[in-house]
Homo-oligomer: A and B are copies of this chain.
Amino acid sequence: MAKLVSPLAPAAFPTLLPIAGVRLASGAVGVRYSGRTDVFLAELAAGTTVAGVYTKSLTRSAPVDWCRDAQKGGTARAIVVNSGNSNAFTGKAGWASVERTATAAAALLGCKPSEVFIASTGVIGEPLPDHKITDGLPAIAQTLADDAWQAAAEAIMTTDTFPKAATATATIDGVAVRINGICKGSGMIAPDMATMLGFLFTDAAISADALQALLAPASDKSFNCITVDSDTSTSDTVVLCATGKAGNAAITDAADPRAESFRAALEAVCTDLAQQLARDGEGAQKFVTVDVDGAVSDASAKVVALAIANSPLVKTAIAGEDANWGRVVMAVGKAGQPADRDKLSIWFGGYSVAHEGQRVEGYDEAPINAHMQGKEVHLKVDLGLGSGTARVWTCDLTHGYIDINGSYRS
């Protein structure tokens, strides 16, 4: 299938400057794909701390189990990622593949296997030919460089139509620090988490515990607020590595006021990456923002927002550029959260379509239809019950999704 780039893709890959203590490389070892790179290797300086958030799937992959263990050590010296095969549902053989890969990378870079983080993405249930990866690593390591961000983002792609990256800067005690991130994912996207791999790097000095306490809420507000198809991957992994090379006095508590600027920058990078995932949702033609206000709590608002964002009928209506707000009513009704039909109000693109349980008087569909014909669609619902709010992002459901997923393995 020709890989057309999503019409919602950013105009260009962003410029990512080097992060002191981080070197990157990628290569083509033919795990599954031909004619493209499929392995990403990161080398991290001694003393790098690490945090991670992982899929909550009960059928999670061997690499996810490995990373959860490795994270307990608090330090990372390498990351090895392959695309094409997720090494999920592969039993003991899958675990052995991870062990061999980590051992090979550790020997190559001079660290412990438990300091090597592993991620795999692609088909579920097929044995991983890890020898291809371990055989290829020495040559790949020869090409480690501090500016190879785009090649890294490309090596981890599966059905993605464009490589994804984001960057931001912050200050800690007046010292400038940088955060760079790359990620992949475009289907099997839903909390918790999206079907995604994300790798974030900073030169800030932050302890592993504080890093974790910063990453988890940033991830909740970003990666856990997107959905493409309500399906949840067995492999979702976000890892944040802090090399400490920027020279700031280390932050050891996420509540430290000195962490505020970093917290905001991290959330910005995560949100940028998460939105790129929704913009590359399989078959996506429109990027959709769903706001829910007036819920009894923020958590309740998020459930309602995701019910709307996941509804196939809402998503196909958006694909058809039809402001079919009745389907939004339906989705609110099925969400299982407190709702009162006669207090419910709905806006499309800022235009009121329904107020307190019925269509607004003098309803004029013309400006709303114009909004629906754009690439960015905004839905807002006010439940009229309380002050809980949530915002989630998704895309429309199109023939492209069927094309991609009706023939993925073949």
Residues of A within 8 A of B (CB): 55, 57-60, 86, 88-94, 123-127, 187-188, 190, 229-234, 310-313, 316-317, 319-320, 322, 324-327, 329-335, 338-342, 344, 354, 356-359, 397-399, 401-402, 405-410
Bound-complex Cα distance A316 to B356 (A): 37
Are A311 and B231 CB-contacts (below 8 A) given A326-B125, A341-B89, A359-B125?
Answer: yes
Query: Taking the full assembly, how many copies of this chain does it contain?
Result: 2
Are A406 and B320 CB-contacts (below 8 A) given A89-B329, A89-B341, A229-B313?
Answer: yes
Cβ-defined contact, A319 with B91, below 8 A: no
Cβ-defined contact, B58 with A317, below 8 A: no
Cβ contacts under 8 Å, A326 to chain B: 86, 88-89, 123-126
A289 to chain B, nearest CB (A): 20
- Chain A contact residues, majority secondary structure: loop
Which one, B92, B312, B335, B409, contacts A312 given CB within 8 A?
A: B312
Beyond A57-B333, A59-B330, 15 extra complex contacts between A and B, CB < 8 Å = A55-B333, A59-B341, A89-B359, A91-B356, A91-B358, A92-B358, A124-B327, A125-B329, A127-B359, A230-B310, A230-B312, A232-B334, A234-B330, A312-B397, A319-B406
What are 28 pairs between A and B in contact, CB < 8 Å? Answer: A55-B333, A57-B330, A58-B332, A58-B335, A58-B341, A59-B339, A59-B341, A60-B333, A89-B326, A89-B329, A90-B358, A91-B342, A91-B357, A94-B358, A123-B326, A124-B329, A125-B326, A126-B326, A187-B313, A231-B313, A234-B329, A234-B330, A312-B401, A316-B406, A320-B410, A322-B410, A324-B409, A399-B402
Are A330 and B188 CB-contacts (below 8 A) given A59-B341, A341-B59, A359-B125?
Answer: yes
Which one, B60, B330, B338, B344, contacts A341 given CB within 8 A?
A: B60
Bound-complex Cα distance A142 to B316 (A): 42
Cβ-defined contact, A229 with B312, below 8 A: yes
Query: Which among A232, A357, A406 has the greatest number of chain B C-beta atoms within 10 A?
Result: A406
Cβ contacts under 8 Å, A59 to chain B: 329-330, 332-333, 339, 341, 344
